[in-house]
Amino acid sequence: MSVLDVRSVSKSFGAIRALSEVSFTVAAGEVVGLMGDNGAGKSTMVKLIAGNFPPSDGEIAVDGEVCHFHKPIEARGAGIEVVYQDLALADNLTAAQNVFLGREMKKGLWPFRVLDKQAMINRSAKLFAELKSETRPRDLVKKMSGGQRQAVAIARTRLSNAKLVLMDEPTAAISVRQVAEVLELIRRLKSQSVSVMLISHRMPDVFAVCDRIIVMRRGSKVADKATENTSPEEITGLITGAIRDA
């Protein structure tokens, strides 16, 4: 059964139709690339799945159950985690503090319920080790490299054992070395049978990690192909519209 099932979803903002009749599925442990030019509807799609707003038409099912998300918290509850493009990290906090932000571990009885700092540090260290990332729980995020920051954002998604992780342009603004690090993090997620949806502009990154590539153009899905059956040239053609659909 597929982890995510998007069934003929449309979304309109007033007179503007951002998405029309988009359907696709994501299986467990599958890495799916979502590609398209600016304004193709990628971000709207991500926001729909992440629960920022409900679709105008159609439905989204997680593990076969139809969900109606109105807030990101509800999507998270269903096992969908998002790594935002800006990573949503507080620079003045440490890695462990960021991982547990909004769901801190506590101990003791009210009114003396205090943070269980050691447990959070240990758990974060374990998550970073699982991701094979050289990130230390007590380091301030402000002082970290782009790759380490990605690791913190991704570790956050591992906290709740998410089924599906949406990654919005994770490799857009980082160095070549750090891109390799992030791609390895995605492979780690896959090896733990977590599904990943990678939204990216960067063709080499998508071809390096994705099992399947979905191309969107002007609000519609124009292609949904296994990576081995396509080529960067074909995908480029599909994105720009040189190839109508496949």
Taken as a whole, the chain contains a residue count of: 246
CB of 181 to another protein, least distance (A): 6
40 vs 82, which CB is nearer to another protein? 82
214 CB-near residues (< 8 Å, 6+ apart) = 24, 32, 33, 34, 35, 221, 223, 224
The count of C-alpha atoms lying within 13 angstroms of the C-alpha of 41, restricted to the half-sphere facing its C-beta, is: 26
* Angle in degrees, 0-180, between the axes of helices 176-191 and 146-158, rounded to the nearest 10: 20
Binding mask 152-181 for another protein (x = CB under 8 A): ----x--------------------x--xx
Is the Cβ of residue 64 or residue 102 nearer to another protein in the bound state? 102
92 binds another protein (CB under 8 A): yes
Applying CB under 8 A, the span of 18-26, 39-47, 62-70, 144-152 interacting with another protein comes to 144-152
* Number of chain residues interacting with another protein (CB under 8 A): 43
To another protein, the closest distance from the beta carbon of 188 in angstroms equals 11
Question: Between residues 11 and 76, which has the closer beta carbon with respect to another protein?
Answer: 76
Note whether 202 binds another protein by CB under 8 A.
no
Q: Which is nearer to another protein, 66 or 73 (CB)?
A: 73
Q: One symbol per residue from 110 to 129: x for binding another protein (CB under 8 A), - otherwise; what is it? A: ---xxx--------------
Q: What angle separates helix 146-158 from helix 117-130, to the nearest 10 degrees?
A: 110
The piece of 26-34, 35-43, 69-77, 191-199 that touches another protein (CB under 8 A) is 69-77
| Cβ proximity to another protein, 1 vs 112, nearer residue | 112
Positions touching another protein (CB under 8 A) are: 72-73, 76, 82, 84, 86-93, 97, 101-104, 106, 113-115, 132, 134, 136, 138-139, 142-145, 147-148, 156, 177, 180-181, 183-184, 187, 204, 207-208
